[in-house]
Amino acid sequence: MSTAHAMATGHDSHAAHDPLAPVFAQYPLEVLRGEGVWLIGRDGRRVLDLYGGHAVAALGYGHPAWTKAVNEQTRTLNFQSNAVPLDVRVRAANKLIAFSKLPVKSVFFVNSGAEANENALKMAFTLNPGRTEVVALEQSFHGRTAGAGALTWGAAKKWYGFPRTPFDVKFLPRRDFASLAQITEKTAAVVVEPIQGVGGAFDLGSEYLHALRRRCDETGAVLIFDEVQCGFGRCGEPFAANLYGVLPDMITSAKALGNGFPCSALLMMEKAAAAVKMDALGTTFGAGPIACAAIEATVDAIENEDLLANVRRVSAYIRKTCIVGPVTGHQGAGFLTGLICKTPASQIQKALLTEHNILTGTSGDPNVLRLLPPFILKEPEVDLLAAALARLG
């Protein structure tokens, strides 16, 4: 048990031998299983999960159709590589493309958000040979690998770890129109989260994203939307690209995509798709049959249960009912909601969990409490949050 875990859970029975690298602070909560939007702890405690395991559990826990599809796939064929054509792989790609309602021409499946971003960057440099710079935004988070970490705001000082970044990086202030002039003919790619996640559920907005698209067109820079956290239904539309009506050249998707089975996807529009050459990208585990079955089942459940409409309706209800107690406002979109608090969000998060059995998240903004609930959340559960916030004063 890590020191953080021991402190958080209040017991240290395994302190003598902790096999896990001590890199994660731990919630004071030991989860045995989940049901819908509820986590059930070792002590029988039921906790309302408004955080979804960092935005992953799109369908919540124990979703029958998803569980059946993944179980069946484990029985029929657990793995074959991309060298072997698989029906389930083609079905997952086609379903994802149809779900996106965007002119996606090609899908490359990998395993994590950071890996999808690395591959997007590689394609951007392929499209723009000779250019050496990538532009990202302040307060961004794009992952922990060499390329994605280089584009993550503050990583260099805190945890980047590599001796140098693989390309030059320029960070621009978010929603700052004047600074878009810093995107030039030297810029290979611009990578943005249309709604920043770790940055505090901060939405860049349609006007800014349109201006960004225009500047990329003027300079030839490739526009990449990192929708690892905000996309795949979380914003109440298939992707934030749909929500804001701005088409990037590539979109990266992960987290909710497999409802917990590790997977991610690089979605390429025409220009990027046309530049992919045989052997240019690769992966062992990416697009494995279980991952593809998980993706297919997640898309099916979102569509069959009309969950995008649910996200839109229930997120509007959160915004209407939860601006109470310490909460003074909101930002973000859909189920990537930031509740702006007049007291530190970390204190509110702690009180909600320990006093009211509600799990929420914090963010890079100390005053923003971040909600990333499963897409199946309903109004009565939001009422529990509103009541708890009101009691926190």
Ligand X SMILES: Cc1ncc(COP(=O)(O)O)c(C=O)c1O
Closest distance of CB 142 from ligand X, Å:
5
Say whether residue 249 binds ligand X (CB under 6 A). Answer: no
User: What is the Cα–Cα distance from 215 to 358, expressed in whole angstroms?
Assistant: 43
Length of the chain: 393
Single out the residue of 96, 254, 265, 333 in contact with ligand X (rule: CB under 6 A). Answer: 254
Between CA 250 and CA 257 the distance in angstroms is 16
Residue 368 to residue 381: CA distance in whole angstroms: 20
Q: Is 143 in the site for ligand X (CB under 6 A)?
A: yes
Q: To the nearest whole angstrom, how small is the minimum distance from the Cβ of residue 138 to ligand X? A: 14
Q: Using CB under 6 A, which of 142, 213, 330, 370 touches ligand X?
A: 142
Taking the least distance from each CB to ligand X, the nearer of 89 and 234 is 234
Nearer of residues 38 and 208 to ligand X, judged by Cβ: 208
| Interface with ligand X (CB under 6 A), residue from 209, 228, 235, 336 | 228
Per CB under 6 A, 141 contacts ligand X: yes
Q: Which residues fall within 8 angstroms of residue 363, CB to CB, at 6 or more apart?
A: 197, 198, 199, 200, 201, 338, 345, 369, 370
In the complex, minimum distance from the CB of residue 321 to ligand X, in angstroms, rounded to a whole number = 26
Of the pair 114, 135, the CB lying nearest ligand X is at 114
Compute how many residues bind ligand X; rule: CB under 6 A: 15
Question: For ligand X, what does the binding mask look like between residues 178 and 217, x meaning CB under 6 A?
Answer: ---------------x---xx-------------------
Q: Does 358 bind ligand X (CB under 6 A)?
A: no
Strand ranges in the chain using DSSP code E only, listed in sequence order? 31-35, 38-41, 46-49, 106-110, 133-137, 168-172, 187-192, 195-196, 202-203, 222-226, 250-253, 264-268, 327-333, 336-341, 358-359, 368-371
Cβ-based neighbours of 331, under 8 Å, separated by 6 or more: 200, 201, 202, 203, 337, 338, 340, 368
What is the rounded CA–CA span in Å between residue 324 and residue 308? Answer: 26
Under rule CB under 6 A, residue 235 binds ligand X: no
Specify burial of residue 70 (Cβ count, 10 A radius: 0-12, 13-18, 19+): buried
Q: Measured from the CB of residue 42, what is the shortest distance to ligand X in angstroms?
A: 26
| Residue 137 binds to ligand X (criterion: CB under 6 A) | no
Tokens found for residue 49: 């999960």
Stretch that binds ligand X, among 31-39, 112-120, 209-217, 321-329 (CB under 6 A): 112-120
Binding site for ligand X (CB under 6 A): 54, 112-114, 117, 141-143, 193, 197-198, 226, 228-229, 254
